[in-house]
Structure 1
Amino acid sequence: MKLMTTRTLPRFLFVLMLAGLAACSRVQPVMTVHQQLPATTTLSDEQLREPLIRALTRAKWTLEEEEANRILARIDFRQHSASITIDYAGGRYDIRYRDSHDLDYADGKIHKRYNALVKKLNRVILQEVRIAQNLTGSLQ
């Protein structure tokens, strides 16, 4: 029994090639993070601010401006840069795209490196929130 015929093999290779090209795409939809903190987290908005700032520093982002429940940050690498807004309140935070330079932003899509930086920042924020929660819990 033949698994592939001479007619299906070229079709299979064509589909495989298209899937490979799609996986290698350098642009992706811009990632926006809407993160609800675990229900066990009891940090106030002011207490949440500290882990957010520590995470930005650890992930190499620069704090540009700070407002009530809002942080504006930027990261520069090679000749590229990206700017984000972090809004936080009520046990949640959002990371939203603001601007970029040389990251191919167009029509809601951006270079995949931006999304990788935002994913990393989100992971670091969650780590810092856990640390802050443990410290706050041990002080009570």
Structure 2
Amino acid sequence: MKQWLPAMLVVGLAVVMMTGCRGGGQVYEVKDTPVQTATGKAASMEEVQKAIIGAGAKLGWIMAVAKPGEIVGTLNVRTHTAIVTIPFSEKNYSILYKDSTNLKYDADKQTIHQNYSGWIQRLDNEIRARLSTLGM
């Protein structure tokens, strides 16, 4: 059994190193998602903007209004930074990749660190949840 111990340690270390080095995936974007409220009542630009900013803030995003109908969101996680543009109206919104740091973004292949997709999906889910409560 003692002679297997060094080999098991090497294999274990290799597994830890491989799982710690995450690969990339396609850049995940949300495009023209309808603004849906629980009551079906139309939302105002101000309500949609407030819902998006609140959703981002809850998840640690820094949200800034770039111009009417557009928010820029920045998420800093350790040494990684993701920046998205969120154009919106009373009827729909999108979450689009803008820039990043230390996320292995490849513009030609449209790939990025796999954690990016999860961050965008969580942001989208929180925006949807907040929009659904409008008009109640």
- Same-fold call, TM > 0.5? yes
User: What is aligned with 1:124?
Assistant: 126
Give 5+ residue unaligned stretches, structure 2: 1-20
Q: What's the TM-score once normalised by structure 1's chain length?
A: 0.73
Pair 1:105–1:122, CA change in 2 (3 A): same
User: What is aligned with 1:37?
Assistant: 35
Which one-letter code corresponds to 1:56 in the other structure? Answer: G
Tell me if the contact between 2:71 and 2:87 (Cα under 8 Å) persists in the aligned partners.
yes
Tell me if the contact between 2:42 and 2:90 (Cα under 8 Å) persists in the aligned partners.
no
Q: Give the Å deviation of 1:90.
A: 3.6
Which one-letter code corresponds to 1:59 in the other structure? Answer: L
Runs ≥4 residues deviating over 3 A:
none
Q: What's the TM-score once normalised by structure 2's chain length?
A: 0.75
Tell me if the contact between 1:63 and 1:74 (Cα under 8 Å) persists in the aligned partners.
yes
Q: Give the Å deviation of 1:120.
A: 0.1
Deviations 1:105-133 (A, max 9, x none): 00211011011000000000011111223
Give 5+ residue unaligned stretches, structure 1: 1-23, 135-140
d(CA) in 2 for partners of 1:54, 1:131 = 13
Q: Give the Å deviation of 1:38.
A: 2.9
Which one-letter code corresponds to 2:29 in the other structure? Answer: T
User: What is aligned with 1:80?
Assistant: 80
d(CA) in 1 for partners of 2:94, 2:41 = 16
Matches within 5 A, 1:1-140: 26-34=23-31, 35-38=33-36, 40-106=40-106, 107=108, 108-134=110-136
Larger helix percent: 1
Which one-letter code corresponds to 2:26 in the other structure? Answer: P
User: What is aligned with 1:7?
Assistant: none
Tell me if the contact between 1:85 and 1:95 (Cα under 8 Å) persists in the aligned partners.
yes
Aligned residues: 111
C-alpha RMSD of the superposition? 1.8
